[in-house]
Amino acid sequence: MSTEQRDTVFIGKKPIMAYVTSTLIQLANLPSVNIKARGMSIGRAVDVAQIISRKTENSGYMIGNISIGSESLESQDGKTRNVSTIEIEVKRNTQ
């Protein structure tokens, strides 16, 4: 795993706890991290954000801004189709 600091975690096909760990490592150094996903992975992005906010509750991290969008992808037959995206901010709880 790279130790590079990035403020975005992209959700793919790894086990969900891998993304929880990645996000928590980034949050150790940064005030906020964005969790991004598209298509079928959108539900998993919500799971990652919920696991982090639930396990750390009042003392730790909270959900920030959430935005949704769509991207045009070109499929292998040359047609473009739209895929939905989500971006969930997780940030230090400042209470």
Closer residue to a copy of itself, CB minimum distance, 29 or 65: 65
Closer residue to a copy of itself, CB minimum distance, 18 or 63: 63
Q: How far is the CB of 28 from a copy of itself (least distance, A)?
A: 23
Report the SS3 class of residue 25.
helix
Distance CA(45)–CA(82), nearest Å, equals 19
Report the SS3 class of residue 40.
helix
The contact set with a copy of itself (CB under 8 A) reads 39-43, 46-47, 49-50, 54, 63, 66-70, 82, 84-86, 88
Q: Return the closest-CA partner of residue 14 out of 50, 44, 43.
A: 44
Q: How far is the CB of 21 from a copy of itself (least distance, A)?
A: 18
